[in-house]
Amino acid sequence: MGVLVGKKAPEFKAMAVVNGCDFKEIKLSDFAGKYVVLFFYPLDFTFVCPTELHAFQEKAETFKKLNCEVIGVSIDSHFSHQAWLNTPRTEGGIKGVTYPVVADIHKTISRDYDVLIPEAGIALRGTFLIDKAGVVQQQTINNLPLGRNVDEMIRLVEALQYTEEHGEVCPANWKKGATAMKPNQAGLKAFFSK
Instruction: For residues 14 and 6, give the distance between their C-alpha atoms in angstroms, rounded to a whole number.
Output: 24
Instruction: For residues 4 and 128, give the distance between their C-alpha atoms in angstroms, rounded to a whole number.
Output: 9
Provide the pLDDT confidence category of residue 178 given band limits of 50, 70 and 90: very high
> For residue 194, what pLDDT is reported?
84
> For residue 107, what pLDDT is reported?
98
**pLDDT at 74 exceeding the cut of 60:** yes
Q: What is the DSSP letter of 132?
A: T
**Mean pLDDT score of the chain, rounded to an integer?**
97
CA 150: distance to chain centroid?
Answer: 9
Mean pLDDT confidence for 163-169: 96
**pLDDT at 134 exceeding the cut of 70:** yes
> For residue 193, what pLDDT is reported?
92
List pLDDT tens digits, range 45-71.
999 999 999 999 999 999 999 999 999
**How far, CA to CA in Å, does 66 sit from each of 18, 60, 61, 153?**
20, 10, 9, 11
Instruction: For residues 60 and 66, give the distance between their C-alpha atoms in angstroms, rounded to a whole number.
Output: 10
Is position 49 annotated as part of the catalytic site?
yes
* Domain map (residue ranges) of the chain: 13-147, 149-194
**pLDDT at 9 exceeding the cut of 70:** yes
> For residue 1, what pLDDT is reported?
56
Mean pLDDT confidence for 179-184: 95
**Global pTM?**
0.96
Q: What is the DSSP letter of 130?
A: E
**pLDDT at 138 exceeding the cut of 80:** yes
Burial class (CB in 10 A: 0-12, 13-18, 19+), 148: buried
Looking at domain 13-147, its CATH architecture is 3-Layer(aba) Sandwich (3.40)
**pLDDT at 184 exceeding the cut of 90:** yes
